[in-house]
Amino acid sequence: MFNSISIVFPIYNEEKRVKKSLQEIEVFLNKKQIKKIEILLINDGSTDNTMGLIKKFLHKTINKKKIKIISLKNNKGKGYALMKGVELAKNDWILTADIDLSVKLEQLIIWKKRYMQKNLLVYFGSRSHKYSIIKKNMFRNILGIIFQIIIYFLFRLNIPDTQCGFKLYKKHVAKKVFNNLLEKGYVHDVEIAYKCLKKEYEIKELPITWKHKSNGKVNIFIDPFKMLFALLRLKVKLGF
């Protein structure tokens, strides 16, 4: 279904996880399961040793021609980093993914073989899909359910999992929906889903194998309130 793809990773202060993730990306590239591929690493103003580790990796890898670094001077937010990556992506399909690889890149190959349809242009990985294999704690699961209820109430989006970072778009669709994002942080996913539906791009939710990774930056006690405020702000910006 696709022979060329750009994979965009937003990265911010990931020195504890980025080395292992880069090694996994290298293994995936070495398998050569996709004819043409580019990896876009968007450094979102990291202040730790993330960039040092990435540069060390690039110095050694045989795949350096397939990997590009875009470094932002200041931290702008996950949505902004993805917007810049999508803007620069060149290949026919664009995947946005989290650098912790909670969903492994091999999921792409499974999607290609089993699920992708010729007339569909947008695919969201969904932890709520009945065939997904998920490893996360109960408290996070409850928070996710509450979050999706709020999203439906505010935006009438009947999508059980807007926040999974593993999403695949045909290039021209990604360029449109990521253009001029109003919300630059974590709730950008809601804006993307809203734009897709407004532009009548059907979103196909697909199963994933997802595993929670430690050393993340999300504070489950504080960030839900920040995200609620961001959702209300987005609702106003969209003119509801």
Per-residue pLDDT tens over the stretch 161-177? 999 999 999 999 999 99
Q: What would the pLDDT profile of 45-82 be if each residue is shown by its tens digit?
A: 999 999 999 999 999 999 999 999 999 999 999 999 99
pTM of the model: 0.94
pLDDT given for residue 52 in this prediction: 98
CA–CA distance, 196 with 178 (Å, rounded to integer): 10
Residue 129 to residue 138: CA distance in whole angstroms? 17
CA triple 218-198-39, angle to 5 deg = 50
| Residues in the chain with pLDDT values less than 70 | 215-221
pLDDT of residue 168: 98
Q: Both tokens of residue 27?
A: 């293994």
Dist CA 227 CA 4 (whole Å) = 34
pLDDT at 149 (0 to 100) = 93
